[in-house]
Amino acid sequence: MKVEEFDFNLPEELIAQTPIEKRDTSRMLVLNKRTGKIEHKHFHDLIELLGPNDVLVLNDTKVMPARLYGVKEETNAVIEMLLLKEKENNTWECLTKPAKRIKVGTVVDFGNGLLKAKCIEAKEDGIRIFKLEYKGILYEILDQLGEMPLPPYIHEKLEDKDRYQTVYAKNIGSAAAPTAGLHFTKELLEELNQKGVTITTITLHVGLGTFRPVAVEDIHDHKMHSEFYQMSKETADILNQAKKDGKRIISVGTTSTRTLETIRSLYPEFKECSGWTDIFIYPGYQFKAIDSLITNFHLPKSTLVMLVSAFSKKEYILHAYEEAVKEKYRFFSFGDAMFLWKD
């Protein structure tokens, strides 16, 4: 199966650069995954589409303001650093720019000594391992010094950091937001709750690999990045009961989907667990966990387009994307939503 099969034409002006003023007023393309039928709605219309037979699964990860700008101690050269993954004892895997200036032993100063990072290992593709030195709580320092690590296709400055967080974000650790969840407001979640919809959470810390293009011609040669996930006993019990009762499990976002499908690929039912997943879902995959999916519109030829194509049919997805372009939907992280359901 060729990567080219998942390409589509996207005018650059449809890439949303800023979030819409009110989260749940974004548009929502509703696609019947079985028939390919399309309806055009708004996100708040979920209240009419969901009911007591539905279980919504949200990813409660929280994005770290992990993009830092500092100076090299010896030369005062400006260095950009993006914290990717904590390894152990204040040791972090980071993406640096310009990487050629960072060698083992290099110290970078952030905020006039508030945070210092010493390079202890150099890897390929601009990746460096740093030992961090600071006083106090790292996440409070990041809140003070850091910027949100917005995707490379967003060129506008984000005025309000909270707009790149879901309203239910809780467990800090992501390098990117689970963007399907950005459409929810606290009020909409409460309305859904009042209507009898069960709402539960998992955690998957989104890695930077989510933005990496697929660099191979044949999708079977692609190696997925690995991301940390966690499911509580409470969520596992809710989802197992939902399966027994014949309820509809609706995954909010590809991150929730990959977590749920990973767990059901490893175990005969949902269970309390945590680990690392590099699951790659593309057409031919047999879904074991979810019944419906809320997601955004994704990049051409991306693994995320492959995932939604696997959940429905590639032809239906590409046709829906063509319709979305024609109707001038907003694309990507700050863009509009898509609800894939089956009758």
What are the chain's domains?
3-63+160-341 (3.40.1780.10), 67-145 (2.40.10.240)
What percent of the chain shows pLDDT beyond 90? 87
Report the alpha-carbon distance of residue 331 to residue 173 in Å, rounded.
25
Looking at residues 229-257, what average pLDDT do you find?
Answer: 98
Beta strands 171-174; 127-134: pairing state = unpaired
User: Tokens standing for 6?
Assistant: 């998942």
Does residue 89 or residue 202 have the better pLDDT? 202
The answer to whether the beta carbons of residues 308 and 298 sit under 8 Å apart is: yes
Provide the pLDDT for residue 211.
65
The answer to whether the beta carbons of residues 128 and 117 sit under 8 Å apart is: no
Instruction: Give the HSE-up count for residue 126: Cα atoms under 13 Å, Cβ half-sphere.
Output: 12
Provide the pLDDT for residue 311.
97
Q: Above 70 in pLDDT, residue 40?
A: yes
pTM: 0.91
The residue written with tokens 């009020």 in the block is 187
What percent of the chain shows pLDDT beyond 70? 99
Does residue 241 or residue 127 have the better pLDDT? 241
Write out the H or E segment, with its range, that includes residue 91. Answer: strand 91-97
The residue written with tokens 């819409």 in the block is 20
Q: Above 90 in pLDDT, residue 124?
A: no
The answer to whether the beta carbons of residues 174 and 64 sit under 8 Å apart is: yes
When computed from its CA atoms, the radius of gyration of the chain, rounded to whole angstroms, is 21
List phi, psi (to 5°) of 34: -85, -40
* Residue closest to 336 by CA, chosen among 20, 55, 81: 20
User: Tokens standing for 240?
Assistant: 């197992």
Task: Tell me the CA end-to-end span of the chain in Å, nearest whole number.
Answer: 29
Taking CA atoms, 330 is separated from 21, 154, 170, 281, 339, in Å, by 13, 13, 27, 25, 15
Report the alpha-carbon distance of residue 158 to residue 239 in Å, rounded.
36
Lowest mean pLDDT among 112-121, 156-165, 192-201: 156-165
Looking at residues 4-22, what average pLDDT do you find?
Answer: 95
The residue written with tokens 């296709």 in the block is 153
